[in-house]
Amino acid sequence: MTETEYAALPIADKRAANNKIRGMKLLTQEIRKKLPPLYAQDGKGGKAVAYLKLFTPDSSFSWFLTEGSPITEDGREIDFQFFGLVEGQCKELGYVNLSELETVRGPMGLPIERDLWWEPKTLEEIAPEMFREGKE
């Protein structure tokens, strides 16, 4: 499939195509059970724990996700929103939706993957420079 053909696909088809290529789900039921709901670690700063790591195998982006909650509409889940640290061209904290992550491809056309050997770590272990005392 060419990049142009992929770009023209509906989101649901992109998700299915990427799941088939990556051979895994980014968010399993087991991870859902471990991941605290949004705002559960609010105020912890660098002590917040990242329970899930996602990455682009063909570039330098990684997502260290600390929390997440379903997005619902009319009582049914339509997406899932995470909060955590993204490391790419810079490091920053923010929100990202599962639907975005499931459809992204890196520069070589590879989808985002889940780090299968990830062990939970605090954000200050991952990015100590962001959580130093007296940081300007």
Residue 136 in domain: no
pTM of the model: 0.83
Range of the domain at 8: 3-126
Residue 133 located in a structural domain: no
**pLDDT at 109 (0 to 100):** 85
- Which of 14-32 are b and which e, b meaning 16 or more Cβ less than 10 Å from the residue's Cβ? bbebbeeebeeebbeeebe
Phi–psi pair at 97, nearest 5 degrees: -95, 145
Residues 96-128: pLDDT tens digits?
A: 999 999 888 888 988 899 999 999 999 999 999
Element (H, E) at 11: helix 11-22
Which residue type is seen at 133?
E
Residue 61 belongs to some domain of the structure: yes
pLDDT (tens digit, 9 = 90+) per residue, 71-93?
999 998 889 999 999 999 999 99
What total of structural domains would you count in the chain? 1
In a domain, 135, yes or no: no
Q: Look at residue 24 and tell me if it is in a domain.
A: yes
DSSP-derived 3-state class of residue 69: strand
Does residue 120 belong to any structural domain of this protein? yes
